[in-house]
Amino acid sequence: MCAIFGIAGQQEASNLTYLGLHALQHRGQEGSGIVSTDGKLPFVHKERGLVADIFTATNIAKLEGHSAIGHNRYSTAGGNTSENLQPVMMKSSLGWVGIAHNGNLVNANVLTQKLEREGSIFQSTADTEVILHLMAKSQEKDLINAIVHALKQVVGAYSLLILNHDYLVAIRDPQGIRPLVMGNLHGKPVFASESTAFDLIGANYEREINPGEMVVVSLKENFTVKCFRPFEKGALKRCVFEHVYFARPDSVVFSSTIYQTRKNLGKQLAKEHPPLDAELVIPVPDSGVYAAIGYSEFSKLPFEMGIIRSHYIGRTFIEPKQSIRDFGVKLKLNPIADIVRGKSIVVVDDSLVRGTTSKKLIQHLRNSGASKIHLRISAPPTAHSCFYGIDTPNKTELLASSHSVDSIRDFIGADSLGYLSLNGLLQVASEVSGAGFCHGCFSGEYPTPITTIV
């Protein structure tokens, strides 16, 4: 899960791209980069860290030009190293090219081995570089034809922004696994992983980039926009976890407002797993807040913020040498004893992966005086790994891959545990966005043959 942002025809293109990436920081926090152009030269700045720390006024001033693309990195393929920061740059017979990618290519290893045998030299371990090498070896003289040639060889998830001195190109894979939206600022195009980036810069949301669509902005022809469908139509397989967790609640993703979708997931959860003898509904912040609101509304139980989350946990926080039991969870999540003491409560969260955080949190709630704790999860059990852009643990580390719901309940120490059913999740998602979702992390049913994943 990464963030991409692109803009054309704006005097402050790099500054606007910085703001767009800042609004999309939740999609990637390990590093960020921007490539801008004046229609001739590229200007590049990439670093590890958070957007606001990387792009100082001095750095932004060096990113000249009227058009730019940017990327926030969340490590999946290739790991968290400086050479894997994006946008990835290439210089070839096509001239200079920059590319920003959200998603994972599941045949990247096979293609990398083939390209290396043919003489390609890779500068990173990111799968995105495969696309650039395929473009360079295409022998196409035109950037657009080279992109099409390359993408017809890859398998997996890709939402892409590609920039050179002539074009800014936005592409989404034929199955639409990862989101990509298009907006308008002062009559010129802007692109982002989520619409919330448009809100910050004052751009208008227009529409999703369609699965398999290529949108080409000509930097030499007054930033005119042309749309193509050069790829065979695939079965629609949008990532349903965008609805559950990834996207910001104030975003429009897959043509639906995430805030309302998550409330609806909470309502469906309350239908499937009623509150029993509970007196309060409490979210695990921030991930469970909106589903908990929906659960509260449907169940007619009062909603309380009975757990407070610290937003100031830095990478350099020093844990005391003297052992404090469950220090990490206490640092992040702290119950309010006056709210939960003596109460039977429903605790709502969006997912339960390894179970270790939930186990410690439930113990903290008991220590704070909660009499009963009913944990409700607004998604099905996460029992399978993702290969399309989510850094999920190995399947053996996923608690639901080897434990029943009852044994998970016993492990975490809850009085009851209820997951939203897969049918319930797909019903809610389809009501707001239409049918067609990837749910491989829940069902083990993937949108590409599992044999292509290496």
Which positions are catalytic? Answer: 2
Three-state SS sequence of 399-454: HHHCCCHHHHHHHHCCCEEEECCHHHHHHHHHHHHCCCEECHHHHCCCCCCHHHCC
Residue 379: phi, psi to the nearest 5? Answer: -155, 165
The DSSP symbol for 243 reads I
The DSSP symbol for 277 reads T
Query: In angstroms, rounded to a whole number, what is the distance separating the alpha carbons of residues 231 and 211?
Result: 9
CB 278 within 8 Å of CB 345: yes
SS3 416: strand
- Residue indicated by tokens 């080279």: 146
| Residue 125, phi-psi category: left (phi > 0), alpha (psi -120 to 50), beta (remainder) | alpha
CB 263 within 8 Å of CB 297: yes
* Token representation of residue 3: 């963030």
Query: In angstroms, rounded to a whole number, what is the distance separating the alpha carbons of residues 287 and 364?
Result: 18
Query: In angstroms, rounded to a whole number, what is the distance separating the alpha carbons of residues 434 and 214?
Result: 22
Helix (H) or strand (E) holding 430: helix 422-433
Distance of CA 397 to the CA centre of its chain: 21
- Residue indicated by tokens 């990464």: 2
Residue 170, CA distances (Å) to 36, 93, 101, 208, 217 in order: 15, 21, 10, 11, 8
Query: In angstroms, rounded to a whole number, what is the distance separating the alpha carbons of residues 286 and 381?
Result: 19
The DSSP symbol for 244 reads I
